[in-house]
Structure 1
Amino acid sequence: MSIDETAFWVGMSREVARSEKGKKAFCLRPFYKGRKMTLIGAISIEGVVAKKVIEGSMKGKDFKEFVEDDLVPKLKPGDVVVMNNLNIHSIEGIEELITATGARVEYLPPYSPGFNPISMLWSTVKSLIRMFPTRAMEVLEKLIEVALIMSGKDSFNNWFTKC
């Protein structure tokens, strides 16, 4: 099982475009980052195991609540929970909550997002979100839900195989 978080902003849009040969691509897009949403998630080879969307940046209490309320009820003895070696992931009580279920925790080396399969999910979700730029938080939250559903079940197994 792989855990991580990622951020989305109101107004996210594609950063590249296509145009006819010799012509410059042009489109209007917001020049600011709007309000922020953070998605905390856990995936396995079978798909999304747990997720939580919060408005703004994630704080330690948010991550602990996610682990306690959303992740721990879905863990089974023998599960391995892989997460980045961030300070927020190792706050007091997190590892104990996970190991109490019979699962174990493995921390990735610093600066190694390529070893975390959920990074590939975040890339896919963000690509889909950028296709439909919005200026409303409610719409952004719905887009995140749809993008998670659109990430095909076969992809999860492939992402774990690559890592």
Structure 2
Amino acid sequence: MAPRLSDADHEMMKAMIQRDEPTKQIAQSIPCDPRTVRKAKARYRLFESTQTPPNRVGRHKKVTPYKQDVLLKSLAQYPTTDRTEMVTLLHDGFEDDVSLSTISRSLKDARWTRKNCHPVAQQRNPELRDLYLYKLSRYKSYQMIFIDESGADRRVGYRKKGWAPSGVTPIQVGRFNREQRYQILTAYTQDGIELARVYPGSTDAVLFKDFIEQLLHSCGRWPHKKYVLIMDNASFHHNDELEPMCAEAGVELLYLPPYSPDLNPIEEYFAGLKNFIKKPGPELSELFKKDFQAFLQACVDTVGKRSQTIGPHLDVLHERPGDASLDALVDVIFNVPILIDVPQVKTDGPRDATCAAKTSFPVLIFHLVAEPFGIIIYGPVNRFRDHQICQVHYRW
């Protein structure tokens, strides 16, 4: 007996059916028997789902599938809606009074949970983001150096959660007033930290120029390693002396589109760094009390030397100069930029994540907040899953 398809497989099949993809192609991607796909298409025409709705006994649910669909579509557009506002939504739309517990059960049945929102600036320009991704596709991952700065003071090391008996709030005694703030200016590559400085105060154009001047000694010229500097649009990043200095050294500058920190993988490093600061171990804990600047520098060096190159929790295989043929099994985590080569395949479909992964040249696999997607690559690929973590077997 063939194994049951997982929920992720059903979601992926539903997405491919909505795009009117051929039955044979869907069966190869799942993978499953073509008869399974034909039956799923018939169920989708009847129920708008690839799975048959359960034939329950007993009382009918107060929140019917249609009402639940309306509720979920509203939450997809306004994810911060409170449960009392959901009750009002159903009352205004269907003149139906439901309780808060009914709302909770309906969301649980739909496998929706409450979690922290990912903020996205409304001022983002999609065209500028597309242009940046197009420019980025010309480079290999080993040619890139990402530059950014982050601030920290002693408060970043304080833990916000603690243990206590049930019904008792844990109490943490400490000095929570704001002290001297330090800046961490970092140059980040796929091999880890290339150069980092920790200093008090703020960053200005003079200090940043001196940092870049020191960094250029570690950079190569085209087409060698580390010849592209990528940074955001902070005012001191646009120094009049910076571009001629980099051009003389054979180094290119590439600026991120406005309000797009998610396209800079150094943000993952800073997140891992601040997590490490909260639990540095007994040796660095003493340094935290005595010399916070030296403590920060030690943390930067420790996290930067880890073998994982995109965040402390990932182990990703990158492109390297001279690689002839590698069988890579890559765990791709969304909103972490990863460059991979895909074969050239012409596509006439809408310009979405699927088509982006089917074009030629290295492409940046990134997270779409409005429509999370799985990786769809046609070529020497075993399968993909329309899920948060997908595995791609690819030879380059």
- The question of a shared fold, defined as TM-score above 0.5 by the shorter chain, is answered with yes
Classify 1:16/1:10 alpha carbon distance in 2 versus 1 (closer, same or farther; 3 Å).
closer
2:288, 2:295 within 8 Å by CA — same for their partners in 1? no
Q: What CA distance in whole angstroms lies between the structure 1 residues aligned with 2:288 and 2:175?
A: 10
The 5 Å alignment of 1:1-163 reads: 1-20=145-164, 21-68=166-213, 70-78=214-222, 79-131=227-279, 132=285, 134=288, 136=290, 139-151=291-303, 152-156=306-310, 158=316, 161=338
Cα deviations by residue, 1:97-126 (Å, 9 ceiling, x for unpaired) = 222221211100112111111111112222
Cα deviations by residue, 1:28-58 (Å, 9 ceiling, x for unpaired) = 2322110111111101101111112222111
The structure in which a higher percent of residues are strand is: 1
Using structure 2 for the length normalisation, give the TM-score. 0.37
Shift of 1:65: 1.0
Q: What CA distance in whole angstroms lies between the structure 2 residues aligned with 1:19 and 1:58?
A: 38
**CA root-mean-square deviation:** 2.3
1:67, 1:97 within 8 Å by CA — same for their partners in 2? no
User: 84-93 or 2-11, which moves further after superposition?
Assistant: 2-11
Ranked by relative contact order (alpha carbons within 8 Å, sequence separation 6 or more), the top structure is 1
Using structure 1 for the length normalisation, give the TM-score. 0.84
Q: How many residues are paired up? A: 160
Q: What CA distance in whole angstroms lies between the structure 2 residues aligned with 1:66 and 1:2?
A: 13
Equivalent pairs: percent with the same residue? 21
Gaps of 5+ in 2: 1-144, 280-284, 317-335, 339-364, 367-396
Give the secondary-structure state (helix, strand or coil) at the position aligned to 2:309.
Answer: helix
User: Which 4+ stretches in 1 moved above 6 angstroms?
Assistant: none
Classify 1:11/1:72 alpha carbon distance in 2 versus 1 (closer, same or farther; 3 Å).
same
Give the secondary-structure state (helix, strand or coil) at the position aligned to 1:38.
Answer: strand
Which structure is larger by alpha-carbon Rg, 1 or 2? Answer: 2
Gaps of 5+ in 1: none
